[in-house]
Amino acid sequence: MERRENQTPQGQIARVLVEFLEVAIASVVFLKGVYPSGAFERRRYMNVVVQRACHPQLRYYIHATISGLLPFIQKGMVERVAVIFFNANDVPLEKFVFMLGVNLSYGSTVEEVDLQFSLRSFLSKLSISESLTKKLPPDSRWEITAYFRSLPEAGTSKEANLWIPSDTKQWQQPPLITPIKSMNCEPLCLQLYLEHPCLSESLL
Amino acid sequence: MSLDSFRSSSAPNSKRTLSFSNSASSIRSNDNNSANNKRKKMKTTATNQKTLGVAWGSNSSSSSRKPPFSDFGSYMTEKNRKLHNQFNAEASTSSFSASTSGKPIFAGVSIFVDGFTVPSSQELRGYMLKYGGRFENYFSRHRVTHIICTNLPDSKVKNLRAFSAGLPVVKPTWILDSVASNRLLTWVPYQLEQLPNNQPKLSAFFSLRNSKMSEDTFTNALCQVEPDIEDSSARVGNSKDRYSSDVAKVVEPSWQITIEADDVVSENTDAIMMEEQLTSVGVKCDEEDPVGGSNDAAKDVMNFQGELKPNNEEPSTSVTSLCSNDQNVNEIASSSSTRPSKQCHSTLSDPNFVENYFKLKFGICNVQSSRLHFIGTWRNRYRKRFPIPSTGFDNEISNINASTVSGNAVVIHVDMDCFFVSVVIRNHPELLDKPVAVCHSNNSKGTAEISSANYPARSYGIRAGMFVRDAKALCPHLVIFPYNFEAYEEVADQFYSILHRCCNKVQAVSCDEAFLDVTHSKVEDPELLASSIRKEIYETTGCTASAGIAGNMLMARIATRTAKPDGQYHITPERVEDHLSQLPINALPGVGHVLQEKLKTQNVHTCGQLMMISKVSLQKDYGMKTGEMLWNYSRGIDNRLVGDFQECKSIGADVNWGVRFKDMKDCEKFLTSLCKEVSLRLQSCGMQGRTFSLKIKKKRKDADEPAKFMGCGDCENLSHSVTIPLATDNVEVLQRIVKQLFGNFYIDVKEIRGIGMHVSRLESSETSKQEKYNLKSWFTSGSASMEKQKHPIGNGHDKQNMDGTSVLESSALQGSSVQMDNNIQDNQASADRISTPPPLCHLDAEVIRNLPPEVFSELNEIYGGKLVDYIAKGEGISESSSSLRNSLLEQEAINKKEELLDVEPIPQKNPLTKIEAMQNEAEGGEAVPDSGSGPSFNVTRNSSFEKDDLLPSSLSQVDGSVLRELPEDLKAVIVQQLPAHRRQEICSNVALVPPNENLQVALGVKNSENPGSTHVLNESLWAGNPPKWVEKFKISSCLILKKLAEMYYKSGLTSTLSSVLYQIISEFHQLNLAHQISDDSVNITCELLKQYIKVKIGKDIEEIYICFRLLKRFAAKSHFFLQVYNGVFPYLQEAVDDNYGGSLLITR
Is B151's Cβ below 8 Å from some Cβ in A? yes
Are B794 and B942 contacting, i.e. CB atoms less than 8 angstroms apart? yes
Predicted pLDDT of residue B871 = 61
Collapsing DSSP to helix, strand or coil, B910 comes out as coil
Longest dimension (CA), chain B: 121
Q: Nearest Cβ partner of B795 from A107, A174, A196?
A: A107
Q: Measured between alpha carbons, how far is A21 from A5 in angstroms, rounded to an integer? A: 23
Mean pLDDT of B712-717: 81
Q: Which helix (H) or strand (E) holds A180?
A: strand A176-185
Question: Among residues B937, B941, B977, B945, which one has the least CA distance to residue B961?
Answer: B937
What is the rounded distance in angstroms from the CA atom of residue B560 to the CA atom of residue B417? Answer: 10
Contact A111 B212 (CB under 8 A): yes
Q: Cβ–Cβ of B1099/A101 closer than 8 Å? A: yes
Q: Which amino acid type is present at position B706? A: P
Residue B373 and residue B1063: Cα distance in Å, rounded? 73
Helical H runs in chain A?
Answer: 2-5, 9-32, 56-74, 112-127, 158-161, 199-203
Dist. CA A100–CA A113, nearest whole Å: 19
Least confident of B124-128, B297-301, B1020-1024: B297-301
Mean residue pLDDT of chain B comes to 63
Long-range contacts made by residues B122-127, C-beta under 8 angstroms, separation at least 24?
B124/B148, B124/B172, B124/B175, B125/B87, B127/B175, B127/B176, B127/B179
Taking an 8 Å cut-off on Cβ atoms, the answer to whether B1144 and A195 are in contact is no
- Among positive and negative, which fits the CA dihedral B788, B793, B799, B801? positive
Query: How far from B346 is each of B166, B293, B358, B383, CA to CA, in Å?
Result: 54, 6, 18, 10
Q: Do A177 and B1101 touch (CB under 8 A)?
A: yes
Q: Which of B275, B513, B536, B968 is catalytic?
A: B513
* Alpha carbons B145 and B434: distance in angstroms, whole number: 78
Query: What CA–CA distance (Å, rounded) separates B44 from B32?
Result: 18
End-to-end CA distance of chain A: 55
DSSP class of residue B798? -
Is there a catalytic annotation at residue B668? no
Q: Do the beta carbons of residue B626 and residue B595 sit within 8 Å?
A: yes
Q: Is the dihedral of CA B434, B437, B442, B444 positive or negative?
A: negative
In angstroms, the CA B714 to CA B701 distance is 9
Residue B875 CB burial class (10 angstroms; 0-12, 13-18, ≥19): exposed
Question: Using a CB-CB distance cutoff of 8 angstroms, which residues of chain A are in contact with residue B1102?
Answer: 179-182, 191, 193
A190 in Cβ contact with A98 (< 8 Å): yes
- Which chain B residue has its CA at the smallest distance from A172's CA? B1142
Q: Phi first, then psi: what are they for B336, rounded to 5°?
A: -65, -35
Residues of chain B neighbouring A16 (CB-CB closer than 8 A): none
Bridge partners of A192, per DSSP, are A98, A181
Judge whether B268 and B665 are in contact, CB under 8 Å.
Answer: no
Could you read off the pLDDT of A13-37 as tens digits, one per residue? 788 888 889 999 988 888 888 888 7
Which three-class secondary structure state does DSSP give residue B553? helix
Question: How far is Cα B239 from Cα B865, in angstroms, rounded to an integer?
Answer: 29
Band of residue B128 on the pLDDT scale cut at 50, 70, 90: confident
Does B560 score more than 60 pLDDT?
Answer: yes
Predicted pLDDT at B964 = 61
37-66 in chain A: CB under 8 A from chain B: 47
In this prediction, residues B900-924 reach a mean pLDDT of: 42
Query: Could you tell me how many residues make up chain B?
Result: 1148
The confidence score (pLDDT) of residue B332 equals 35
Mutate to test the interface with B, among A105, A114, A147 (most CBs of B within 10 A): A105
Read off the pLDDT of each residue in B825-850 and give the average, rounded to a whole number: 54
State the Cα–Cα distance between residues B851 and B867, nearest whole angstrom.
12
Quote the distance between the C-alpha of residue B794 and its chain's center.
30
Sign of the C-alpha dihedral computed for residues B132, B137, B139 and B143 taken in this order:
negative
pLDDT band at B183 (very low <50, low <70, confident <90, very high): confident
Helix axes B369-385, B297-308, angle to 10 degrees: 150
For a pLDDT cut of 70, what percent of chain B falls above it? Answer: 50
Residue A147: is its pLDDT beyond 50? yes
Minimal CA separation from A80 to chain B, in Å: 10
Of the given ranges (B195-209, B740-754, B794-808, B1009-1023), which has the lowest mean pLDDT? B794-808
DSSP helix/strand/coil, A196: strand
Contacts of A183 (CB under 8 A, 6+ apart): A118, A119, A121, A122, A189, A190, A191
Task: Determine contact, residues B1148/B1113, Cβ cutoff 8 Å.
Answer: yes
Task: Label residue B873 by pLDDT band (50, 70, 90).
Answer: low
Is residue B319's pLDDT more than 50? no
Top-confidence range, B352-361, B699-708, B1037-1046, B1100-1109:
B1100-1109
Q: Would the CB atoms of A178 and B214 count as touching at under 8 Å?
A: no
| Beta-carbon separation of A107 and B792 below 8 A | yes
Q: Name every chain B residue with its beta carbon within 8 A of the beta carbon of A182.
A: 1099-1103
Residue A94 sits at the chain B interface (C-beta within 8 Å): no
Domain ranges of chain A: 9-201
Cβ neighbours around B677 below 10 Å, total: 26
Question: How large is the average pLDDT for residues B981-989?
Answer: 41
**Banded pLDDT at B781 (limits 50, 70, 90):** very low
CATH 1.10.10.10 fits A9-201, yes or no: no
A123-152 residues touching B, CB cutoff 8 A = none
**pLDDT over threshold 60, residue B31:** no
CA atoms of B883 and B300, how far apart (whole Å): 71
Average pLDDT over residues B536-552: 88
Rounded to 5 degrees, what angle do the CA atoms B889, B894, B899 make?
125
Residues A93-111: tens digit of each pLDDT: 888 999 888 777 776 776 7
Is A112 an interface residue toward B (CB < 8 Å)? yes
DSSP 8-state assignment for residue B446: S
**Distance from C-alpha of B647 to C-alpha of B649, rounded to nearest angstrom:** 6
Q: Are B1137 and A195 in contact (CB under 8 A)?
A: no
pLDDT of residue B62: 40
- Could you tell me which residues come within 8 angstroms of residue B35 by beta carbon, excluding any fewer than 6 positions away? B3
Quickly list DSSP for B488-507.
HHHHHHHHHHHHHHH-S-EE
Residue B939 pLDDT level (bands cut at 50, 70, 90)? very low
Are the CB atoms for B190 and B217 separated by under 8 Å? Answer: no
CB contact under 8 A, B1103 and A105: no
Q: Is B857 left (phi over 0), alpha (psi -120 to 50) or beta?
A: alpha
Percent of chain A clearing pLDDT 90 (strictly above): 2
d(CA B89, CA B1052): 42
Three-state DSSP at B781 gives: helix
Is the bond leading into B565 cis (omega within 30 degrees of zero)? yes
Q: Is the ipTM of this complex over 0.90?
A: no
User: How far is B128 from B966, CA to CA, in rounded Å?
Assistant: 51
pLDDT of B624 higher than 80 = yes
Question: Which segment of B117-126, B172-181, B531-540, B1068-1077 scores lowest on mean pLDDT?
Answer: B1068-1077
Is the pLDDT assigned to residue B299 strictly greater than 70?
A: no
CB B698 within 8 Å of CB B747: yes
Is the pLDDT at B922 greater than 50? The verdict is: no
CB spacing of B799 vs A174 below 8 angstroms:
no
Mutate to test the interface with A, among B120, B802, B938, B942 (most CBs of A within 10 A): B802
Looking at the DSSP bridge assignments, the partners of residue A163 are none
Distance CA B334, CA B603 (A): 52
What are the helix (H) ranges across B282-346? 297-308, 315-324, 326-338
Q: Is the pTM of this model over 0.90?
A: no
Q: What's residue B866's pLDDT? A: 67
Max mean pLDDT range (B5-9, B431-435, B971-975): B431-435
A178: nearest Cα among A85, A94, A84, A86: A94
Name the B residues in 922-951 with CB < 8 Å from any A CB. 930, 932-933, 935-936, 938
Closest CA in chain A for residue B1138: A174
Cα dihedral sign for A90, A91, A94, A100? positive
Instruction: Estimate the crossing angle of helix B247-271 against helix B664-685, to 10 degrees.
Output: 130
- Contact assignment for B789 to A177 by CB distance below 8 Å: no
Instruction: Look at residues B235, B296, B268, B346 and name the one whose alpha carbon lies nearest to residue B100.
Output: B268
Of the candidates B1089, B1019, B1017, the one whose C-alpha atom is nearest the C-alpha of residue B1058 is B1089
